[in-house]
Each structure stands twice: as C-alpha cells, then as structure tokens.
Amino acid sequence: MNIDRRRFTLLTGAACLAPGVAWAENRPLVTVYKDPSCGCCGAWADHIAEAGFPTKVIEEPRINALKNRMGVPSALWSCHTAQVDSYLLEGHIPPSAIAHLLTVRPVIRGLAVPGMPIGSPGMEVAGMSPELYDVIAFKVAYTSVFMRFRGSLQIEQ
C-alpha cells in the first residue's frame, strides 16, 4: 500500500469516528445527588461517566427531602436522584436509557428505576444473576414503562 492510500484510509476512518466523538463531547451534565454513606450511587455515577456523560456528584445528607422537593413520586424512590437537562433520573438507570431519553425527548418529568435491582448499573453483584427491571417514565401523577432491562442489557418489549 502506498503512502497516499494509507493517508486516505486513515482520514476516512477518522471522519467516520468524528460524529460519535462530537456526540460524546456534547452530552449534557448529569448531576447526581446521593447520601454520603451510599457506595452504589458512586458506582452508578462511574457508569454514567464511562458512557461519556460528564458527571457531578453532590453529597446530600437529606436525600429524601430533596426527592420530595424535586417531585419524585415516593413509589419510585431509589437511593439517589440525578438531573440531566430538564429531566430527573431516579435510581440505577442504564446509560443507554438516558441517551434514548435525550434523543426522543418525551414530555415527561423523568425516568426511574425503583429500588435497587441486582445487575443494574452500580448494583452488579458477582455470582448473582441480573434481575429483570423496568425503567419507568413519570410525570405528575402518571407513570408508564419506558424501557425494560436485565442487568445492563435492554430487553425488547
């Protein structure tokens, strides 16, 4: 292969990567509010950061009061609450669900994964099978299933 052909191949490959790089660089900040004693919340924030979202973690000793103030329905509570753009994120939501949310931009208040399902991002437990769980879309006095996962793998509905 001559030098010009190698240069063409390299430039073509770089051009194919550029849109993905730009998307990752333009992802919005995810602000995570967590109880100072919770470890899985930090593990979830690590997943979000590894997926290309800039993250900011804020220790919040009165996390339940924050959830009430932000309007997260108590039936959907988990261990941490986050914000991305105008949306709330409650619990161990997979990064792919957040990316999908920001792509389709439904008219909802946020997404939630109630509780702490085994295998969800930040809740991986060696030797335990991931649980099936739903990512719930919520508005004021309204919820519906947004996506379904087993661990970090999306399940078709």
Domain coordinates in residue numbering, the chain: 29-155
pLDDT at 92 over 90: yes
> What is the pLDDT, as a whole number, of residue 25?
61
| Chosen CATH of 29-155 out of 3.40.30.10, 3.90.550.10, 2.30.40.10, 1.10.357.20 | 3.40.30.10
Instruction: Say how far apart CA 71 and CA 135 lie, in whole Å.
Output: 17
Annotate the chain with three-state secondary structure: CCHHHHHHHHHHHHHHHHHHHHHHHCCCCEEEEECCCCCHHHHHHHHHHHCCCCEEEEECCCHHHHHHHHCCCHHHCCCEEEEECCEEEEECCCHHHHHHHHHHCCCCCEEEECCCCCCCCCCCCCCCCCCEEEEEEEECCEEEEEEEEECCEEECC
Instruction: Say how far apart CA 13 and CA 25 lie, in whole Å.
Output: 19
**Confidence class for position 12, pLDDT limits 50, 70, 90:** very low
pLDDT at 61 over 50: yes
**Confidence class for position 4, pLDDT limits 50, 70, 90:** very low
- pTM, entire model: 0.78
**Confidence class for position 6, pLDDT limits 50, 70, 90:** very low
Return the higher-pLDDT residue of 43 and 8: 43
Output the six-digit token pair for 8. Answer: 């063409």
